[in-house]
Amino acid sequence: MTSRVRKAVVPAAGLGTRFLPASKAIPKEMIPVVDKPAIQYVVDEALAAGLDHVCLITNPGKEAMERHFAPAPDLEAALERKGDQARLDAVRETSSKGEIAFVNQGDPKGLGHAVGRAEEWVDGEPFAVLLGDDFLDADDYILDAMCRIQERTGGSVILLLEVPPHMIQMYGSVDPTSVAAVDLPGEGEVPDGLEIHRISRLNEKPAPGEEYSNLAVIGRYVFNPAVLDVLKTTPPGRGGEIQLTDAISTLASMPAEDGGGVYGVVFRGHRYDTGDKLEYLKAVVQLAAKRTDLGPDFTTWLQGFVSTRDNA
Ligand code: G1P
């Protein structure tokens, strides 16, 4: 058994061009999904899996994210004076979220480069990576199960989504072989009911006909720290960027004693690409509909709105 995963890295240095002009003056990660910035959901997901050390990879101009997770004494004092306990709790909650560190990416040279920047902070431990654009419904969180597989096998674990064949070009594609949980190497409990694959190779955003399968990598990873050494020698790949997918493909061909071995878990829950405007809207609607405070009124309105439009 390897050590318990307790660290999470969240790359958040991108320009957010898909969300311009909203992301011109505020980081795209601060755009709200209902009433919380997108980045807060990602940090909450890491914490829910017991990862209470979180490192955000950012860049200058994204200080709003740091302010969001820092105490706000003036605001808190004002809310206290007004006796507004609910909002005070909401504000305080953001600054009591485990231990949050910030590391600058510097030159944006791709996702692999962003993850590599966390090397010192990771300090040789296994760690998770969560991509903020991949937004998972809280009822479908799976990071904890992925950590269990990492701890049992000592390898690396990635989350997979079955996508229509024409969409695989937007993702990393994997070459999978199904494996039963009981046949995984190592010891330790792995939750029941997971679809697990051993991955032999990956390719990033494959051209038509070059995909290994229509199982796409989505933005949840749990790594053996060997990935950080691999990243150092990973040459620029698709788009001239250092691709995390390429490093994972190298890990897949490495022996377990060197930190190699890659497993994929198929995700069957709700996932939204919140970097895409239509998907972002779907995430907002679904979350709002599920909220106990907003859901009943919102869904009544939504049903009326949709039926009026259908009749128009
Ligand atoms: C990144 C990864 C890709 C993965 C995708 C999931 O791509 O490079 O392998 O499939 O996230 O959302 P991006 O969407 O940042 O271009």
* Count of domains for the chain: 1
Mean pLDDT in residue range 60-87: 92
- 243 CA to middle of ligand 1, Å? 9
Within a domain: 288: no
Decide whether any atom of ligand 1 lies within 6 Å of the 245 Cβ.
yes
Task: Determine the pLDDT at residue 94.
Answer: 85
DSSP 77: H
Within a domain: 88: yes
Structure tokens at 107: 């030159």
The C-alpha atoms of residue 172 and residue 243 are separated, in whole angstroms, by 10
Within a domain: 292: no
Within a domain: 305: no
Within a domain: 98: yes
CATH number of residue 180's parent domain: 3.90.550.10
Decide whether any atom of ligand 1 lies within 6 Å of the 114 Cβ.
no
* Residue to mutate (ligand 1; options 109, 115, 217; most atoms within 8 A of CB): 217
- 169 CA to middle of ligand 1, Å? 10
Three-state secondary-structure class, residue 113: helix
Within a domain: 286: no
Decide whether any atom of ligand 1 lies within 6 Å of the 46 Cβ.
no
Within a domain: 48: yes
Within a domain: 291: no
Residue 21: left if φ>0, alpha if ψ -120 to 50, beta else—which one? alpha
* Residue to mutate (ligand 1; options 17, 171, 249; most atoms within 8 A of CB): 171
pLDDT in tens, 134-156: 999 999 999 999 999 999 999 99
pLDDT in tens, 237-281: 999 999 999 999 999 999 999 999 999 999 999 999 988 899 999
Q: Which domain holds residue 222?
A: 7-275
Decide whether any atom of ligand 1 lies within 6 Å of the 65 Cβ.
no
Residues, the chain:
312
pTM comes to: 0.94
